[in-house]
Structure 1
């Protein structure tokens, strides 16, 4: 087994599985009871946590980070599967008669799909526009265009680093609040706050903050890793989901969910308990490992099944969507993701 596999926390893959399950069932018609947006928020949080943990490890081992290697790893991690997904998507759209323009793949690969979706229109009508799902990839890439350089400035001074993170988190909350209460949702484009980098990247930053606390302040992290901390986070999370006021949901909700994950994460991932055992259950871990491809393909499959099986029952359509989403995701993970990540590691070594 490679060192990469040995150091991979299975519970993190399990948490990814929970995240993609939320997104999948929300998009599959159960959005009234399954919070799909929370699934994306958890994805963001995990991303910030893992990447910061890796950067801190590299910093402690080598006295710095190799930014070029960082971007090469992300290129081999994300782009090959994304290339195939876009090719499959535009082919299927052409087959069913959907009109698409080259601006849409450009929005995906140049990582402005979120703002393109807000201020323009993805064109698919017969099937749901599959490329629109890449908005979250754009948010992450915008964040990681900046974060390595921010990291290098503050990595040697963890207290200042934490202070800078808290200031940015408060500024982003203030910006969202201004958009909601100062300008008003009725005067903003649809999904302006939900999918824009300037209003959603703080979900990644909460993960960064927890990772920094875990590595640089282990005693504080141990205090978080208690049932009291978990219960506090769970209550905050339930409040964020229970309040249905749209102004609250577009302003304070993301901050509360970030704080809740900050408090719950250690107990879920690093403690031995029933939650952790579920997250480390091999089938759950497997779903987490294919979650990137599953995130890409499930939206495409939902659109195709709705187009070809409009009269089928909800259960039949759900089963068909689940099977084909799994099949495409498994093939993408096994023959694209794994191979190109191995290629990238070999190149960098």
Structure 2
């Protein structure tokens, strides 16, 4: 059944897709541009409900087969075109491990479960970065398809009842979903963002428009209300940001504004808006194309300056026009010849894609990772419930006495390869005890603060784990105790306090006090305290840059590193003045020269993400360090 064309909805689609793209391109004003996705959900809820109700009203029946045929014909051609193009393009530049991860996202995408997959993936501290995931944006398409699976059943269940009962049913759905969203975001914000239960209210807001009494507006009122609602959406994109409670009640603002535009903006069209209407027509392929292009540029370590961002916009526009004018329209012209569109355009390509992806994954599992990927991604000896274990020993492991203890957080863990190499050079044996987000600080408690609710929670095991390390230091005669960690701005990422009543303004002072206490404990035990000055944070450069482009391009300005570390360096200088026996190991001159910091050294990858070194990379830094400087662990 062909629905009536409503040009003002294409204008709303255009606004939605442009907001999303501007947000993904990090245009400063559009911190909340992701609300474009919510606007799309409102539009979908409205149109799908309107079409189902209209079909049921005019024909007396509803055909699930025809409904899903229309969905497939609308979505599948552009989707599989983008999927095939991405797979070819990224197969040329991804490492074996990255390609394997990519195929996992492909499998989740064609099974309409990518939002569920990403919920699990991005909740993992050591997961791949969202900005390196070409199909991340498909989560919204998966969520929308899940909605299409259940919504016709719900509508057919209530359609025979009175209009008031239908509206009441939708109010209940909106309320339950909104409450779910609000509660879930406080405990699991990733799940709240990606999963359907916390998003249903957005679709239902659009659906409610179908049953609410319609009001005839004259042209002037329609234009004024349309302009007002558009301004609300745009202004919302300026002020909403990722640290707010979202979706939750925050999403009501753009969703209700979108609903207002749909219901009252019929006259918000004309010759001056034709270009927006066309962008609305190609908004779906624009949404599909833009994100893989951004990821491709990021993985080539191409800085997204103003010119590059506009180039990405142009590329997305050209590819979207091609998808719409050539592929989508060609298929529409051939519809009469196609008897089984669901099988031809979705089931068959989805099965072939799954077969290829699963075959590769099985082959990859059987053949194992290559040495490069093992060095890149294997993570060991962190967050272990019990010690000792073999994988945590460092240096000359055959020696009986453990002379060196390495403690700290995940950065210390990532730097263990560096310490291992120093110990090999001095014929010493060491042991590592590291825990995520657990710098070795004594006499203080750590609290986390939910940026959305501003509530604080004490991390009980932080104090316990560090107390256990204190006991270990006191009961052994270590020669060195080495502290590693993500020290710069640590007091801003967490809140530290001597008491169980944290005061955010005192976090920095408490962090310094805890570090001074730790050094004092080490000195009192008779060991020599050692602190690893943290590695630079990788900026504007992909971790595998030197594998994809020329090595000389894989750097960022050292001044950015200095700006980030300057405050910490000043604090460290004062700490050294209080503890003259403290040895500070600073290998940043190995990673950086006078002007630039690099992502690789001697053709060895240094980083596994933008913060953490690889074990092989940290060992390579040690080898180069020992060529330039004497071993501090003599």
Question: Which TM-score applies when normalising by structure 1?
Answer: 0.82
1:252-267 superposed matches below 5 A: 252-267=249-264
Deviation at 1:11, TM superposition (A): 1.6
CA contact (8 A) 2:33 2:237 kept: no
Deviation at 1:321, TM superposition (A): 0.5
- Give the whole-Å Cα distance in 1 for the aligned partners of 2:294 and 2:231: 33
CA contact (8 A) 2:174 2:200 kept: no
Is 1:329 matched up with 2:326?
no
Q: Deviations over 1:134-169 (max 9, x none)?
A: 000111111110111111112232222111110010
Corresponding residue number in structure 1 for 2:309: 318
SS of 1:248's partner is coil
- Give the whole-Å Cα distance in 2 for the aligned partners of 1:126 and 1:254: 22
SS of 2:5's partner is coil
Is 1:171 matched up with 2:176?
yes
Deviation at 1:255, TM superposition (A): 2.8
Is 1:66 matched up with 2:63?
yes
More strand by share: 2
Q: 1:228 to 1:193 in 2, by over 3 A?
A: same
Determine which of 229, 245, 264 is the counterpart of 1:248.
245
Corresponding residue number in structure 1 for 2:81: 84
Corresponding residue number in structure 2 for 1:208: 207
SS of 1:323's partner is helix
Q: 1:345 to 1:254 in 2, by over 3 A?
A: farther
- Give the whole-Å Cα distance in 2 for the aligned partners of 1:212 and 1:345: 34
Instruction: Please tell me whether Structure 1 or Structure 2 has the larger radius of gyration of its CA atoms.
Output: 2
Deviation at 1:56, TM superposition (A): 2.0
Deviation at 1:305, TM superposition (A): 2.6
CA contact (8 A) 2:33 2:238 kept: no
Task: In structure 1, list runs of 5 or more residues that go unmatched.
Answer: none
CA contact (8 A) 2:32 2:242 kept: no
1:1-349 superposed matches below 5 A: 7-30=4-27, 32-98=29-95, 99-101=98-100, 102-120=103-121, 128-157=132-161, 158-180=163-185, 184-185=186-187, 188=188, 191-213=190-212, 217-219=213-215, 242=239, 246=243, 248-268=245-265, 270=266, 272=267, 275-277=268-270, 281-308=273-300, 310-311=302-303, 314-344=305-335, 347=338
Task: In structure 2, list runs of 5 or more residues that go unmatched.
Answer: 341-634
CA contact (8 A) 1:134 1:296 kept: yes
SS of 2:248's partner is coil
Q: 1:112 to 1:254 in 2, by over 3 A?
A: same
Q: 1:13 to 1:143 in 2, by over 3 A?
A: same
SS of 2:25's partner is helix
- Give the whole-Å Cα distance in 1 for the aligned partners of 2:150 and 2:173: 13
Q: Deviations over 1:296-316 (max 9, x none)?
A: 1101111223344625x6122
- Give the whole-Å Cα distance in 2 for the aligned partners of 1:126 and 1:147: 30
Question: Which TM-score applies when normalising by structure 2?
Answer: 0.47
Higher relative contact order (CA 8 A, sep 6+): 1
Deviation at 1:317, TM superposition (A): 0.3
Deviation at 1:249, TM superposition (A): 3.4
What is the total number of aligned residue pairs between the two structures? 329
- Give the whole-Å Cα distance in 1 for the aligned partners of 2:280 and 2:227: 25
Runs of 4+ displaced beyond 3 Å: 121-127, 225-250, 275-278, 306-309, 341-349
Q: 1:304 to 1:245 in 2, by over 3 A?
A: closer
- Give the whole-Å Cα distance in 1 for the aligned partners of 2:322 and 2:230: 36
CA contact (8 A) 1:90 1:100 kept: no
CA contact (8 A) 1:139 1:201 kept: no
More helix by share: 1
Q: 1:342 to 1:137 in 2, by over 3 A?
A: farther
Deviation at 1:266, TM superposition (A): 2.3
- Give the whole-Å Cα distance in 2 for the aligned partners of 1:228 and 1:335: 37
